[in-house]
Each structure stands twice: as structure tokens, then as C-alpha cells.
Structure 1
Amino acid sequence: MTPMPDLFAVAADALNALTGQEARLYEPLLAALPVDGASVSTFGDILAAETISASDAQSFRLDELQFDLGEGPCWDALQTAAPVLEPDIRKRPNRTWPAFSEAILADDLGAVFAFPLILGPLRIGAIDLYTNRPYRLSSQSVQQISSLATVVSRLVLSRAIRLSHTEIENETDSATRQKFSRREIHQATGMVLAQLRIPAADALLVMQGHAFAAGRSMAEIAAEIIDRRLSFAVIESQIEGSHD
């Protein structure tokens, strides 16, 4: 008998296949998750507030409400770097979101969930999910969705860098200098890999995201890392300490 495919593994592969088609990121999420709607949004200190992908008008509305009000599950998820789970939002409105809770009273919502989009110390946005009836995610589902959120984080950050008009790589006319810069970037990537204990591809993406947010070149960022003037491990610990 052929074993059933792992829906979350299939979803991760499907998400990775959507590079350049990020508006469709909700599709693999809906296919794998027991929810009625999903959205992927960016906001916070690095990227502008934007709904990248939304499965329906309700999902888009939830994002817009939170952007406008500056409160809600996605904000809490990003600030705490942890999932926010409200299995029965109508019966037990969250008192820390008074305006948001009141705004959705007339909506046909049962449960609302938010998972942060984070890569290393970079806080990018959130995945928002909703169901029409009350629903409680299992601890295993929370772990699996968190893993999918990491995949989405890579895709969303890569999209922002790709679409940016800011020149991240400050290339020069000197082939020698360019080659030296590449060596520096490779060395710095190895240092970030060790600092954050993440794969090399993610370490490079963290550096690119930091350069993008700061409007600086990768060569400059790499030099600071090599000279130990920039440590993403220190940045990450400072962020975590500010939320204790």
C-alpha cells in the first residue's frame, strides 16, 4: 500500500516552487492546513506594510485592519517571535486588541492564528490564518506551520530584495576588487552561519536583508562582520531581551 504523502513536506516543496509568483503563496498553505483563509504580509522595521498574498477578501481585510489599527495577532506574533493562537475569537476576544476585536465582531470568524516571518534577527512579517468555526491547532500542527513560515520568510525576503531599486551590491569597475569583495562576502557568510547556526543560504540572505534595510552594499556589511563590528547574534539577543 502506497503511504500517504506528508502534506507539510508537499506544501514546503510547493512554496519553494513559487519563487517569482509570491502572490500565490496562500495556495500551498490552504492545501495543507485545516483553515478557511490565509494571507502573507510584510510589516515592521524592515519591510513596508503590504499584503503579499491573500486567499480571499476576508484574509485581505484582516491584514488591512491590523495595518490600520496597529494591533492584532500579526503584530503580537512578530513582536514576540512566537505563534499567536486564538481558537475562539468571537467567544473570547483578546483584550490586548480592543479595536481589532471590536472591528471583527460582525465577521464570520471562529479562530484566528498568526505565525511570525523571521529569518535570524530579521523580523519580516506574518502569516495570518482564520477558520469560520472555532478550531484549536494541535502542538504538532503549530510546529509544522512554524516550519512552513521559515520557508515563506526566505521567499518574502528574497522577493523584497529582488524587487528593490536599491543597489545592494556596490560593484566597481575593478575586477580585482570585485573578486576580493566576493571572498569577503563568502568569509562573512561563514561567520554569520556560525553566529546564528543556520544554513549558509539563510546566512547570506540575512546579510542581504540587512544590507537592503540599511541601504548599504554587501561588501560594506561583509567588512563589518569580518572586523567583528557587526554581529547578528548580538542583534538577535538584543531583540529577544527587549521582549522579555
Structure 2
Amino acid sequence: MDEQYSEMGLDPGVEYLRDVAEGFAQLGRRVEDEGGHDPFQAITSVACERVQGAVGASITTLRYGEFLTVAATDERVRRADAIQFELGSGPCLDAIVTSTMYSPCDLRTDDRWPAYGRRVADELGLHSMLSYRMLLPSTGTVAGLNLYAEAQGAFTERDTMIGLLLATHGALVATAAFYDRHVQNLERALRSNRGIGTAMGVLMANHKVTEDQAFDLLRITSQNTNRKIVDLAHEVVQTGALDVTPHQRPLVAVSPPDSLTSRPLP
């Protein structure tokens, strides 16, 4: 790759940095396009596209002592992860547990994971891997990024470094996305609590009841009318009144059992 850049009159170092920058930008766009709902899936797809030789990528998490594949580019790599979970051995698991990067060039002959290497090579045709630990300190989760290749020794030193940078940057992007989602949930809860508090104030003023009694009015009405307290609170704030009319559920016609319809009339 560096020789190609030299023949083109380009500085390999500059092109390398440009590749990394483009990868970061692509990851940011992908996460934004998905609305931040699944940053892990965006990371796997971008990593697979940016690292030459990779035919698939996955992200595995360790939480409460259980490994789980939370994102994968295809079912083959998902199965490759599952074999590791089944055996309790593999580059992905070790990368997460020991916080070390692993880059086996020939899984079939690698004596660190003999059972896994033979199975993933024979059953899935995968012979090379890159596995990185992803630090997600604010989510309570430890994760690992895995890249799979069919060829032996498929990943160059350049590929390894690009994968490492994407794993590091991807962890930051994922953490930010999860933090934003948490903030949005808190904001929605705060707005709901404010609405309920305002509705309680209206009921206390209109009916001369205590704070606890005002909340009980909302709670009991919610149960009797099959409506959410938040919706009732919004209505009270808008109208000044609490509608206690039950919401009727649609009637469903029920046919009598055959034992009754077939019984002769007296």
C-alpha cells in the first residue's frame, strides 16, 4: 500500500492520516443517520469497510459475567462469536478480559485457542482476526471489537492500527450516544414530573385538598379510567378539571361453546 502511494507521488503518512480522518467522519455520519439508536452497529459496518481484508465485524459485550454479541455485519461472524462463547475461549474474550489487542494470523494453527481456531476455520472459513477491547466507562459495560478475514495473515500493520483507532474512537462515539439517550430520558421524565406537579397544584387549589390527596386523585383516576397519569395531568393543566369517566374497552363478541349450541332444546 505504501509503495502505491510512493508511485503516485503521495506521502504514505499523509494518506494514512487521511484514511483515519475519513473513517472517523464516516462513523460520525453513520451514527447520526441512525439517530444514535445503535452506535455499535454503525461501528461494525464502518470498521469492516475501512479495514482492508476484513469480511465481517462484530462487537461483543461483557456484562454481569455474560458475553453477548450486540452488533454484527452478518450471521457468519455472529456464529464465530457464538463459538467463542460456547468454548469459553477465543481472541475476543481474551481481548475483553485482559485488555489486550490480539491479531492471530492463522487461527487453525494458533496454540492459544486451538479448539476455537480449528472450528472457526473449518466451519466458517475464517482464518485471521483482529480483536480490541473497547472502553465504555460510563455505561457499565465492557466491549470488544472483532474483525474477521478469510485469508491467513490478512491484516497488515496499517490495518491493525486503523482498527485500533476505530475501536478507540468508536468507544467514545458509543459512550456519547448512550449519554445523550440517557439525558433525553431524564428530560422526558422531568417534563412529566413537572406536569404532574402542576396538575396536583391545580387540584389542591380547586378542591382544597392536600398534596397527597391530589396525587391520590390522579392515581385512582388513572386506574379507574385506564389512562396514564401523565396524560391526566396534562388534561388537568389545560382544562382545570379531572375527567373521571371510565374509558370503555371495545366489546368483543363471544360465541357460546359448542357444548351449549349443540344441546337440544327442552
Q: Provide TM-score, normalisation by structure 1.
A: 0.56
* Aligned 1:1-244 pairs, distance under 5 A: 6-19=18-31, 20=36, 21-22=38-39, 23-45=41-63, 49-90=67-108, 92-95=109-112, 97-104=113-120, 105-119=122-136, 124-135=142-153, 137-160=155-178
Counterpart residue number, 1:219? none
Contact 1:88/1:110 (<8 A) preserved: yes
Offset of residue 66 of structure 1: 2.1
Backbone CA RMSD of aligned residues: 3.7
Contact 1:115/1:146 (<8 A) preserved: yes
> Hey, what's the Cα distance between the residues in 2 that align with 1:156 and 1:48?
20
Gapped regions of structure 1 (runs ≥ 5): 175-244
Offset of residue 87 of structure 1: 0.6
Counterpart residue number, 1:180? none
Structure showing greater radius of gyration is 2
> Hey, what's the Cα distance between the residues in 1 that align with 2:62 and 2:105?
25
Offset of residue 107 of structure 1: 2.2
Moved over 6 A (4+): 167-171
> Hey, what's the Cα distance between the residues in 1 that align with 2:30 and 2:85?
25
Question: Which of the two has greater helix per residue?
Answer: 2
Q: Provide TM-score, normalisation by structure 2.
A: 0.52
> Hey, what's the Cα distance between the residues in 2 that align with 1:144 and 1:11?
9
Contact 1:110/1:134 (<8 A) preserved: yes
Note the alpha carbon deviations across 1:169-211, whole angstroms, 9 max, x for none. Answer: 997x89xxxxxxxxxxxxxxxxxxxxxxxxxxxxxxxxxxxxx
Note the alpha carbon deviations across 1:114-159, whole angstroms, 9 max, x for none. Answer: 1111246976211111111112534343233211101221233445
> Hey, what's the Cα distance between the residues in 1 that align with 2:169 and 2:65?
17
